[in-house]
Copies of this chain bind each other. A is one copy, B any other.
Amino acid sequence: MYKKYKLGACLPTFGSCADRFCLSGYGKGGSTMEEMLELAKKVNGLDGLELVSNWHVNDKNIRYVAKLFKDNGIEICMIVPDLWTQAKWGMGSIAAPFAKTRKQAVQEIKKSIDWAAELGCGYVDVWPGQDGYDYPFQADYQDAWKRLREAVEECAQYNKKVRVLVEYKLKEPRTHCFVSNVAKVILLLQGIKNTGCLLDVGHSLAAGENMAEAAALLADNRMLSYLHLNDNYCMWDDDLLVSSIHVVEYLELIYWLKRLKYEGWLTLDIFPYREDKVPAAQNSFEWIRFLFERIESTGMEKIENVIKSADANMVSGLVREMLGGKALK
């Protein structure tokens, strides 16, 4: 089997995952970048890691980081500008109601682009998670949208070697984020060159979407650039292990990734709060492999025929068969 995709992980997957109640983290992970990297290397099949600006990479350590990852044979697959871990972004980043903050946010992204370029990484992940509102009457929706467009445009023009990806999410940390779903991100990016979408499939689920449908819509708009994988209960971004809940939807997603000829990164964005980090990542990768194997051994044509029938009974048999049972005769 020729592997057409690369497997990655966000570095904090191997850190001490915290939530708003246990702020010091549930532990079992590394504290420093080096410790997290050491854990990551134990995961069979890992090709790359995502780094967060300032936290993991900055002007002072950039040459060190480049050498560290090169020496360890791990690609840096994404630089994530920090637009969401500091109080100064509380009221928003690139769409903040205050011009000064917006300027800082664009500056932050440009710095990340510089670092990405220097590290040979082709993407930055702009996640405007703080850009939104918590209450009715708290946002000027028209202004916010203009500002989002302007900022993305400015950043996208900054360096053609680094593509600006935008990650959408319905909510959290705000109760409402502006760039909330797949169609919104397409509207946002339309006509802006050197951009694309980072599809976090858990964000898609939590936005009430079907992951595969989201991927197809992005591909039709030439914006399916990168994927984050995890799972949840469709209500919140729980960042569970891959395919722990939505096995059927995950099978469908993999079918569509193959059909859409997606050949990019499949990167874990899981928060294994209470789990050992290495097997959490390893189990997620094993699920990905298992799902690909199931789709491939079933055959694309057979699946396509079921889809064309639009018949739920055909679907029921197909899924049962893919998971080890038998279809009706």
Residues of chain B within 8 A (CB-CB) of A280 are 312-313, 316
Question: What 0/1 pattern do residues 211 to 239 of A give for CB contact below 8 A with B?
Answer: 01100110110000000000011111010
Q: How far is the CA of A20 from the CA of B154 in the complex (A)?
A: 29
Q: Is B236's CB under 8 angstroms from A316's CB? A: no
Given known A139-B310, A279-B328, contact A235–B236 (CB-CB < 8 A): yes
Q: How far is the CA of A91 from the CA of B28 in the complex (A)?
A: 13
Residues of chain B within 8 A (CB-CB) of A161 are none
Q: How far is the CA of A20 from the CA of B313 in the complex (A)?
A: 22
Residues of chain B within 8 A (CB-CB) of A284 are 316
Q: Is B316's CB under 8 angstroms from A287's CB? A: yes
Residues of chain B within 8 A (CB-CB) of A247 are 247-248, 319, 323
Interface centre among A136, A140, A280, by most chain B C-beta atoms within 10 angstroms, is A136
Interface 9-mer from A61-69, A176-184, A196-204: A176-184
Identify which of residues 230-261 in chain A touch chain B, using a CB-to-CB cut-off of 8 Å.
Answer: 232-236, 238, 240-241, 243-245, 247-249, 251-252, 255-256
In the complex, besides A135-B244, A186-B187, A244-B316, 10 extra interface pairs with C-beta distance below 8 angstroms are A19-B172, A21-B84, A26-B87, A137-B251, A137-B307, A175-B233, A235-B236, A244-B312, A282-B328, A283-B328
